Amino acid sequence: MVSFHSLLAPITTLFLAILFNVSNAQLNATFYSTTCPNVSSIVQTVIQQALQSDPRIGASLIRLHFHDCFVDGCDGSILLDNNGTLRSEKDAAPNTNSARGFDVVDNIKTAVENSCPGVVSCADILALAAESAVSLAGGPSWNVLLGRRDSRTANQAGANTSIPSPFESLSNITAKFSAVGLNITDLVALSGAHTFGRAQCRFITNRLYNFSGTGNPDPTLNTTYLATLRQNCPQNGNGSTLNNLDFTTPNTFDNNYFSNLQNNEGLLQSDQELFSTSGAATISIVNTFSSSQTTFFQNFVQSMINMGNISPLTGTNGEIRLDCKKVN
Ligand code: HEM
Ligand SMILES: *[C@@H]1O[C@H](CO)[C@@H](O)[C@H](O)[C@H]1NC(C)=O
Ligand SMILES: *[C@@H]1O[C@H](CO)[C@@H](O)[C@H](O)[C@H]1NC(C)=O
Ligand SMILES: *[C@@H]1O[C@H](CO)[C@@H](O)[C@H](O)[C@H]1NC(C)=O
Ligand SMILES: *[C@@H]1O[C@H](CO)[C@@H](O)[C@H](O)[C@H]1NC(C)=O
Ligand SMILES: *[C@@H]1O[C@H](CO)[C@@H](O)[C@H](O)[C@H]1NC(C)=O
Ligand SMILES: *[C@@H]1O[C@H](CO)[C@@H](O)[C@H](O)[C@H]1NC(C)=O
Ligand SMILES: *[C@@H]1O[C@H](CO)[C@@H](O)[C@H](O)[C@H]1NC(C)=O
Ligand SMILES: *[C@@H]1O[C@H](CO)[C@@H](O)[C@H](O)[C@H]1NC(C)=O
Ligand SMILES: *[C@@H]1O[C@H](CO)[C@@H](O)[C@H](O)[C@H]1NC(C)=O
């Protein structure tokens, strides 16, 4: 027997949704299947091209998606340029002289607009670029959920405070992930993106020479690795000199990041903390991902989907930007 309530509940929900303009639209993998069926391969082709002259570009692109999603959700806000009134996220502390790949995003957008004008958001381009970057580097492939729309604003103050810093404690970083609905499994899996790409000396010199004002290096740093890093990053040297985040396989997406942590060869303080913080629940997750690349890949894909789902603009909210650098 169909009860009165079982009939009424969905009607009431629909009514309330219309009344309060509540959009619970979900992203899905087929969002552009009729309007831009080839979008994934267009994105992939441009990245493949860019990798020919810049083996680092995939790493730079996935980082843009991360820094986009952590600030008011995955809404392309990181791509907006500074202007008279808008204070860009590009100029926020975690991004300035650090975030890169914006020119390649523009090339992707141009190629996508040529095939499907006015259809694909810049926020979705970042999500697609992240997946292509990982799979082209030897990592997993997955169906990217789509349907995000682009913001009409940026939040520089939010970028300053919401994106984790490499100098923070594990508990502070965990709190920043938790603030966007990601747990410590997501934290460890997503940190595995540091299996490729580079970091500047200015982010590690404190670990090499004077950690927490002790006058000594970070005691969790492998002494052999310390010597290598000191050669590349001399005291009072150029802080923008680059280091491989994964010194074993710098451009390959694999699980060596986690065995590096077990050997005390994590590059950033925030990397090594996942394994070296006494009693932390992240340690066993590092061990699991180090012992099984398959398990790491499965968790990484799930966590990328979780991160990509952070408060997207959907339906009629936001817009489809025609130029990722500026509001329509
Ligand atoms: C857990 C907290 C995290 C911290 C503290 C952190 C910090 C950093 C720092 C300081 C750099 C070097 C930037 C530079 O030298 O200019 C970097 C690079 C990078 N990060 Fe993270 N990151 C974190 C999480 C993530 C996540 C979740 C992802 C992606 C899923 C990611 C992907 C990358 C990649 C691929 C690079 C290399 C970029 C390039 O070579 O251009 N990171 N990160
Ligand atoms: C994907 O999402 C869009 C927008 O919410 C919707 O129109 C479409 O029907 C969805 N497709 C599937 C297969 O759920
Ligand atoms: C889709 O894009 C790829 C790469 O850009 C291209 O090789 C292919 O011909 C395209 N297919 C269609 C049906 O447009
Ligand atoms: C800067 O961007 C904001 C947000 O898109 C826009 O409202 C404003 O008109 C722009 N200002 C200038 C000087 O272009
Ligand atoms: C963000 O941080 C940068 C660099 O520290 C600073 O110059 C800027 O004023 C900050 N922006 C906001 C809106 O707090
Ligand atoms: C952790 O966050 C607290 C509160 O924001 C701050 O006072 C503290 O300096 C942070 N610690 C580290 C190591 O970043
Ligand atoms: C984190 O969330 C995932 C669901 O996405 C769940 O499977 C996992 O067990 C959670 N991890 C922890 C440590 O709670
Ligand atoms: C290390 O840093 C502390 C605090 O900033 C400072 O007092 C000390 O002189 C430094 N030691 C060395 C050897 O540079
Ligand atoms: C530091 O290195 C960067 C790139 O490697 C270079 O552009 C810059 O001029 C250098 N700065 C100094 C002070 O040598
Ligand atoms: C330091 O690194 C070497 C080479 O990876 C490794 O064999 C050794 O066990 C590491 N030492 C420590 C204390 O982790």
Query: Is the CB of 83 within 6 Å of ligand 4?
Result: yes
Give a yes or no: residue 205 inside a domain: yes
The model's pLDDT over 65-116, given as tens digits with 9 standing for 90+, comes to 999 999 999 999 999 999 989 999 999 999 999 999 999 999 999 999 999 9
- 5 belongs to an annotated ligand binding site: no
User: Is the same domain home to 150 and 197?
Assistant: no
Give a yes or no: residue 114 inside a domain: yes
Which positions ≥6 away from 186 have C-beta within 8 Å? Answer: 177, 303, 306, 307
Domain count, the chain: 2
User: Is the same domain home to 65 and 130?
Assistant: yes
- How much is the mean pLDDT over the chain? 94
Residue nearest to atom 14 of ligand 9 (CA): 238
Predicted pLDDT at 1: 35
**By CB neighbour count within 10 A (0-12 exposed, 13-18 middle, 19+ buried), where does 320 fall?**
middle
User: Is the same domain home to 135 and 195?
Assistant: no
Out of 56, 67, 109, 148, pick the active-site residue.
67
Dihedral angle of Cα 256, 258, 262, 264, to the nearest 10 degrees: 80
User: Is the same domain home to 177 and 285?
Assistant: yes
Amino acid code (one letter) for 189: A
User: Is the same domain home to 123 and 205?
Assistant: no
The model's pLDDT over 155-193, given as tens digits with 9 standing for 90+, comes to 999 999 999 999 999 999 999 999 999 999 999 999 999
- Bridge partners (DSSP) of residue 243 are 199
Q: Which domain, by its residues, includes 122?
A: 39-163
Give a yes or no: residue 4 inside a domain: no
Ligand 10 pocket test: pick from 229, 264, 272, 286 the residue with the most ligand atoms within 8 Å of its Cβ: 264
CA of 294 to the centre of ligand 1 (A): 22
The model's pLDDT over 220-239, given as tens digits with 9 standing for 90+, comes to 999 999 999 999 999 999 99
CATH number of 269's domain: 1.10.420.10
* 65 belongs to the catalytic site: no
User: Is the same domain home to 179 and 150?
Assistant: no
Give a yes or no: residue 20 inside a domain: no
CATH number of 124's domain: 1.10.520.10
User: Is the same domain home to 175 and 141?
Assistant: no
Give a yes or no: residue 2 inside a domain: no
Give a yes or no: residue 13 inside a domain: no
Give a yes or no: residue 28 inside a domain: no
- 103 belongs to an annotated ligand binding site: no
Predicted pLDDT at 24: 56
